[in-house]
Homo-oligomer: A and B are copies of this chain.
């Protein structure tokens, strides 16, 4: 079968360096000709943000950041940006902080320079999200893609191991799910597999020694690759399942991803043996599910949906909610039976296993 695909590469500059955030940020602001910088950082990152933006012409420090970008918070930030006549947005923090900067850029068209402090990967995408009355709207607009990303793993040193693991496993899910997502292709697959290799290696080192610089560097550059792969490939079965579960049962984002992934891999791997082999290789294992299980075991990853408040009797409803979202080109057919089995085992935390190709 001949190869047919479309791939959109988003233009973006990345500056990566331990302890270099302030320097790299200054260089970028200058390159962009910024004279009035609005810094967005939540209170826990206020100190880091102040340190790395010390040399910038800051006109406003905005700290009112909430998860999922509530629309009223977005509007307040947009008004603040207009009032201070900002010409550049600099966001320092995790996915919620980057998300707020994107919401401002969406209407103001201001450029963003992002300084991530977690492994969320949002800084590599042109996807924005807003929440109004508990309902999340997402969209795609190149104006929200940060012009530049400044990565400095020194800023992630204080991220506790459990949060590093949760955030990093989210990046692992981006990589694995990209391999069969709707727009998967040889280009984003190359990113996904290199991202998986780097994140897995980085997380293993961090779990053993939280201040391992090489480990932090690997996790951080791997999470960038995972974001690039994911934004190019789109959401596969795993992300569809987690999106529905998170919305319907108020399950925690990262933990849901960490718990569900092995079962999606178990289900899909037999339908794409070459891909399964590549995933195993990136995890340093002979088979993919065993490789992911080993990684999760080393990292003491979340194990069962039951631990996060989902009830066994929710499963039939969840199956019905997920069914319409199953991607039509998923490598194996997924009906109510497969989903029921998957959710039942993920709920109980029954170990996922490598299955034979059909």
Contacts and interface: CB of A to CB of B under 8 A. Distances in A.
Given A3-B18, A17-B2, A185-B16, A190 B9 contact: no
A214 B2 CA distance: 6
Interface residues of A, number: 36
Interface stretch (A99-107, A217-225, A246-254): A217-225
A193 B191 CA distance: 11
Contact of A194 (B6, B14, B18, B186): B186
B6 A13 contact: yes
Specify the main secondary structure of chain A where it touches its partner: mixed
Interface string A300-343: 00000000000000000000000000000000000000000000
Contacts of A158: none
Interface in A135-192: 153, 185-187, 189-191
Interface string A15-29: 111111000000000
Total copies of the chain: 2
Contact of A13 (B7, B20, B213, B221): B7
A113 to B, nearest CB: 13
A134 interface: no
Contacts of A17: 2-5
Given A4-B18, A13-B6, A18-B3, A198 B186 contact: yes
Contacts of A16: 3-7, 185
A3 B7 CA distance: 28
Given A194-B190, A214-B2, A11 B14 contact: no
A133 interface: no
A92 to B, nearest CB: 19
A187 B6 contact: no
Contacts of A20: 4
A8 interface: yes
A2 B14 CA distance: 16
Contacts of A221: 3, 186-187
Given A186-B198, A190-B225, A217-B2, A7 B18 contact: no
A5 B189 CA distance: 23
Nearest to A221: B186
Nearest to A124: B9
A79 interface: no
A185 B194 CA distance: 12
A238 to B, nearest CB: 22
A10 interface: yes
A6 B14 contact: yes
Given A6-B15, A186-B198, 17 more contacts: A2-B17, A2-B153, A3-B16, A3-B17, A3-B18, A3-B153, A4-B18, A4-B20, A6-B14, A9-B11, A9-B14, A14-B187, A187-B224, A190-B190, A190-B191, A190-B193, A194-B194
10 A-B pairs with least C-beta separation: A11-B11, A190-B194, A2-B18, A4-B17, A3-B217, A7-B14, A2-B213, A9-B12, A5-B16, A186-B221
13 contacts: A3-B153, A4-B17, A6-B13, A6-B14, A7-B13, A7-B14, A7-B16, A9-B9, A9-B12, A16-B185, A187-B225, A189-B194, A194-B194
